[in-house]
Amino acid sequence: MKSVGRPKNPPKAKEMLKEVIPIDDIFEDDEKKIYESLVDIYMKDFDKEDLTSSDMDDVMSLAMNRVLEIRLLKTSKGSPDKQIDASTAIEKLRKQNDKIKDNLLSRRKDRINPHEYKGFSIIDLAVAFDKKKKEDMLNKAIFNKEEETEAAKQFNKFQGNRYDLDVKVSDKEEFF
């Protein structure tokens, strides 16, 4: 029996961007490593539940554009003619990346609930910071006091050098 509708377990976003897309056919081995690293970095900026297909397309495009930019820079190395051609292509890729980043940013802003942090102010942050700082300082003071007490115990155990064999005490003390 064939199921109708959306698959029960669609591929995860990272899996989709790394395994489902035929990156082996597009990139060389060293470029593939760069692409996968870029996908990992870009995906850290998103909650897995919030990702849309548009987000995945944009992340893929960003990573691909960056790899293509590196490829262009490599091929134009040492050749002024190729550098001129590559620089215009790189400029176009960078403009496209800026547009993609703006799209990602605007979609992320749209998902934020403006009422989620209503009533939360800088004063709340300052109070929370002060409480944490006070707690840290108190813990440090307790630790230092315990350390001081232990050091004092060790010091009091030391009897000095009065029982050393090379110390000679005379009954007569001469003063000149």
pLDDT band at 158 (very low <50, low <70, confident <90, very high): confident
Structural domain total, the chain = 2
Q: Which two tokens stand for residue 129?
A: 């910071």
What is the value of pTM for the model shown? Answer: 0.55
Shared domain check, 84 and 63: yes
**Residue 88 within any structural domain of the chain:** yes
My answer on whether 84 and 128 are in the same domain is no
Does 128 reside within a domain? Answer: yes
Q: Considering only residues 163 and 138, tell me which one the structure prediction assigns the higher pLDDT.
A: 138
Residue 156 banded pLDDT, cuts 50, 70, 90 = confident
Residue 176, in any domain of the structure: no
66 & 131 share domain: no
User: Does residue 65 sit in the same domain as residue 142?
Assistant: no
Instruction: Write out pLDDT tens, residues 50-81.
Output: 777 788 888 889 999 999 999 998 988 888 88
What mean pLDDT value characterizes the chain? 80
**Claim to verify: residue 83 and residue 154 sit in the same structural domain:** no
In a domain, 167, yes or no: no
33 and 83 fall within a common domain:
yes
Distance between first and last Cα of the chain? 116
Plot region of 175 (φ>0 → left; ψ -120 to 50 → alpha; else → beta): beta
- For residue 15, give Cα distances in angstroms to 23, 101, 110, 147, 164: 12, 21, 25, 52, 75
Is there a single domain that holds both residue 25 and residue 81? yes
Q: Which amino acid is at 152?
A: A
Q: Name the least confident of 29-43, 59-73, 118-132, 155-169.
A: 155-169
User: Which has the higher per-residue pLDDT, 51 or 143?
Assistant: 143
Residues 74 and 18 placed together within one structural domain of the fold: yes
- In a domain, residue 99? The reply is yes
Same domain, 36 and 70: yes
Domain co-membership, 138 together with 59: no
Task: Tell which of 86, 111, 136 closes a domain.
Answer: 111
Given a cut of 70, whether residue 133 has pLDDT beyond it is: yes
- Beta-carbon contacts of 40 under 8 Å, excluding residues fewer than 6 positions away, are 14
Contact 67, 23 (CB under 8 A): no
Is 96 found in the same domain as 34?
yes
Q: How far is it, in rounded angstroms, from Cα 74 to Cα 83? A: 10
Range of the domain at 34: 13-111
Residues 96 and 132 in one domain: no
